[in-house]
């Protein structure tokens, strides 16, 4: 049986337009989707990076996001037992997170202190 949980992280920007914020509690499962909603904070010079706290694998990196709500479905390249990418075309698979918080970093944004970027993760398993 599959299960799904939703986690919300609100990044409040500093006067430099930056923020590093972590999800509350440990996350276990596959990152199914990520919704991003910015309140005037994301500009053409912005970047949003999402990684697990400890393993720091890239889950999502969005450069030049719009201020509109967006939904992303992050996936990673799948490798075979020899370490090579499977098949002649890319095969993508869900990204697993095991007993870690998710880290959201906003950089090079508008610099408006107090602006927020809300990131909602749907994590599932099974």
88-102 pLDDT, tens digit each: 667 788 899 999 999
* Residue 121 belongs to some domain of the structure: yes
Instruction: Kindly state the average pLDDT of the residues 23-29.
Output: 92
C-alpha pair distances (Å), 10 with each of 22, 35, 39, 104, 117:
9, 12, 11, 9, 6
Q: Looking at residue 21, which CATH number applies to its domain?
A: 2.60.120
Task: Compute the mean pLDDT over every residue in the chain, rounded to the nearest whole number.
Answer: 82
With a cut of 60, say whether residue 12 has pLDDT above it. yes
The whole model's pTM is what? Answer: 0.82
Element (H, E) at 37: strand 27-38
* Residue 105 belongs to some domain of the structure: yes
> In percent, how much of the chain has pLDDT > 70?
81
- Write out the residue range of the structural domain in which residue 98 sits: 10-125
């Amino acid at each position: 049986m599959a299960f799904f949980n939703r986690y919300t992280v609100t990044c409040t920007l500093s006067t430099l337009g930056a923020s590093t914020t972590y999800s509350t509690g440990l996350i276990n499962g596959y990152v199914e989707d990520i919704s991003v909603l910015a309140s005037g904070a994301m500009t053409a010079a912005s970047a949003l990076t999402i990684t697990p706290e400890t393993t720091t694998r890239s889950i999502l990196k969005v450069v030049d996001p719009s201020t509109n709500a967006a939904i992303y479905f992050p996936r990673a390249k799948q490798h075979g037992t020899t370490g090579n990418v499977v098949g002649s075309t890319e095969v993508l698979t869900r990204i697993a997170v095991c007993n870690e918080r998710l880290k959201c970093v906003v950089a090079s944004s508008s610099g408006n202190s107090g602006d927020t970027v809300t990131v909602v993760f749907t994590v599932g398993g099974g």
